[in-house]
Amino acid sequence: MTGIGGQGIQLVAKLLAQAAIREEKQVMMFGLFMGTIRGGSSESTVVIADREIVTPPIVPSAWAVLAMHPEGLPAIGRKAERGGVLVFNSTLVHAPPAWDGVSHIPVPATEMAKAMGQPMGASMIALGALAAATGLVAVASLHAALGEVLPPHRRKLIDTNTACIARGAERVAPAGRVPAWAEETPSSR
């Protein structure tokens, strides 16, 4: 996940990680951000696995990228995995990179958040779209994990954030989905 300070990158990464934990997946999260509170680069890597993660992984590639701002995209481009997905805030990312074999899902998250009267909810909208597009975690798991990741002074915003996540999920058309997990068949168990 990439963006700039103040966009909620670290919060949505933590929410994605907590939702995956609720679904009994293995999770590791690494957050990187500049010393400035707002405006500096902010990036977070969330590793989600359906098997035990034995050691902190070196992350040479990324199957899914959530981009709220264009600043961090050039560096992530080297990691973009063929067959993966880029969910991007098309309000701010006007010219997404043409990564070979990566599906693009534009979400005007900032515009949608402003239209909802929730300008700080753009990253939640984008995360809802990522969850709906990939099935990495269920949208319901994101909703359920909100109370666990929001600090006490922000818990009054659970309903607002739930609405933003739902709005982002609604934005993704069924034809635009890129499943994160292989369909389980009786023979693959």
| Number of domains composing the chain | 1
Range of the domain at 100: 2-176
In a domain, 186, yes or no: no
Asked if 120 contacts 137 with a C-beta cutoff of 8 angstroms, the reply is no
CA nearest neighbour of 176 among 127, 139, 130, 133 = 133
Residue 183 belongs to some domain of the structure: no
Smallest CA-to-CA distance from 44 within 27, 21, 23 is with: 27
What the block records as the tokens of 163 is: 């609405």
- Report residue 35's pLDDT band, with 50, 70 and 90 as the boundaries: low
For residue 181, tell me if it sits in a domain. Answer: no
pLDDT bracket for residue 189 (50, 70, 90): very low
Structure tokens, 189 = 């168990």
Residue 30 placed within a domain: yes
Query: Is residue 37 situated within a structural domain?
Result: yes
187 pLDDT band, cuts 50/70/90, is: very low
Domain assignment present for residue 185? The answer is: no
Taking all residues of the chain, what is their mean pLDDT, rounded to a whole number? 89
Tokens 């609720």 correspond to what residue? 22
Whether residue 99 lies inside any domain: the answer is yes
The domain spanning residue 134 has which CATH number? 3.40.920.10
Domain membership flag for residue 141: yes
CA torsion sign for 55, 76, 17, 154 is positive
The pLDDT tens digits of the residues spanning 120-179 come to 999 999 999 999 999 999 999 999 999 999 989 989 999 999 999 999 999 997 777 888
Could you tell me the pTM of the whole model? Answer: 0.90
Q: Stretch 58-85: mean pLDDT, rounded?
A: 90
In this structure, are residues 76 and 92 in contact, taking their beta carbons and an 8 Å threshold?
Answer: no
